[in-house]
Amino acid sequence: MHSDHDTCEVNFDGLIGPTHNYSGLSKGNLASQNNALQVANPRDAALQGLDKMTALLDRGFVQGFFPPQQRPRLDLLRKLGFSGSDKKILNGVARTQPSLLSLVYSASSMWAANAATVTASKDTKDGRVHFTPANLLTTPHRAIEHEETTHCLRTLFADEAHFCVHPTLPSIAVFGDEGAANHNRLCQTHGGEGLYVYVYGRESGAPANLQFPARQTRLASEAVARQHGLAKNAVFLPQSATAINAGAFHNDVVAVANESVLFYHQDAFACGLEQLHEAAARQDITLCDIQVANADVSLNDAVQSYLFNCQLLTRPNSTEMLLIAPQECELNPRVNSYLKTLVQDTSNPIADVSFFNLKQSMRNGGGPACLRLRVVMNSAERAACHPAFLLDPAKIEQLRQWVTTYYRDRLCPDDLADPQLLDESYTALEALTAMLGLGSYYHFQR
């Protein structure tokens, strides 16, 4: 048996890939839409992400990462009837259907919060950590991710004595699943029993009062809970249409939880939280409910600054919590003022805020919380992970050198028609797998 004390939350960040660009593919994600067709800097994007990982590692947190997915995905273009050499295919697509280039080049797998939904071993019948990769079927450029995500998870969490990686839910509209971005685990401590909060945007069909897609369905959330064997410890809450229409395409744009703290905007949910409080009380979780009123931070300010897309973390060997926030929170006067008040309020455990420059990822519509998947594990489970995916200072330095060597510092959507970008991307991924000892990890290597 493992004690609660050897259990901690491990953050696995998506390492931003060499084809990071602004194609504006994500309807309802205002930053993605507003920055469409601008020039991106893949090198800065990846280095900014590594800076955040380094900072957490330096502060004593356990930090891992997911490698970038293979881009471009020429196998998809071949399925669509394009044929010939790689160069001929890219030239043909650029000439006849250029919009497909942004689909097969998208680096959106960087948003690891959408990779999967996770249940800790403490809360499962078989005592294993359970994962369900998300089908992400609402957006075509993300719906192509789940096979590679499953491969990544089954490589990283290969030890079936400790881990179970389920198949994705069927790619049917009523089972739209966006992963952990609509999911939180509440608990007294990470090693204690958890209460799982699933947030959904629609029951099954599309509500009439939405301007943007409601990506997560209740049926999908219920199916994941069923897969993971969660009968009692699950609460299902509807996301408010107001939040979705304001650009909260996932619940993690307007709410975040850590241990017993739920930090959320007044307009995050379409119902009161009585059901959640009752469930927490039944599990002896003393819920610390921090609701941010519109009067303090408007919904628009929350969405633009990504106040709730912060990482909320319990400091190692402490009960104090830390918010990892994007610089946009510091630069927004109302949000910054609210955060100063929050950390001075001793009635909650949030004691500090650290601001990070994540401009490249923020402009594509994702902040610190979007970039990571949280996995609660005990020491035996951490030891059973594939070591290539866990970070230490030496490996972070190797990854920095790799990014600096292989990534462009300028990429605009028109560059996706350049066959040289394919060569650069595959060469980079080949070097990454060699460096990590992963063998023929990518499809193009097999």
Q: Which residues are annotated as catalytic?
A: 178, 250, 370
Question: Is 31 annotated in some ligand binding site?
Answer: yes
Question: Is 337 annotated in some ligand binding site?
Answer: no
| Strands, sheet with 372-377, edge to edge from the N-terminal-most edge strand | 63-66, 8-14, 372-377
Question: Is 29 annotated in some ligand binding site?
Answer: yes
For the record, the structure tokens of 139 come out as 């957006």
Euclidean distance between CA atoms 442 and 446, whole angstroms: 7
Question: Is 27 annotated in some ligand binding site?
Answer: yes
Euclidean distance between CA atoms 43 and 39, whole angstroms: 12
Question: Is 142 annotated in some ligand binding site?
Answer: yes
Burial label, 85 (beta-carbon count in 10 A; 0-12, 13-18, 19+): exposed
Q: How far is CA 149 from CA 14, 63, 211, 335, in A?
A: 11, 18, 29, 34
Report which DSSP code applies to 101: H
Question: Is 23 annotated in some ligand binding site?
Answer: yes
For the record, the structure tokens of 410 come out as 């300028």
Place of tokens 């629609």: 202
DSSP SS3 for 94: helix
Question: Is 146 annotated in some ligand binding site?
Answer: no
Question: Is 25 annotated in some ligand binding site?
Answer: yes
Euclidean distance between CA atoms 98 and 360, whole angstroms: 24
Contact 423, 373 (CB under 8 A): no
Place of tokens 């369905």: 217
Question: Is 154 annotated in some ligand binding site?
Answer: no
Question: Is 218 annotated in some ligand binding site?
Answer: no
β-pair type (129-133, 116-119)? antiparallel
Place of tokens 């003393």: 286
Query: In sequence order, which residues have a C-beta less than 8 Å from that of residue 153 and are 6 or more positions away?
Result: 115, 116, 131, 133, 165
Question: Is 115 annotated in some ligand binding site?
Answer: no
The angle subtended at Cα 25 by Cα 22 and Cα 30, nearest 5°, is: 80
Question: Is 26 annotated in some ligand binding site?
Answer: yes
Q: Which residues are annotated as a binding site?
A: 23-32, 114, 141-142, 215, 252, 364
Q: Which residues are annotated as a binding site for substrate?
A: 23-32, 114, 141-142, 215, 252, 364
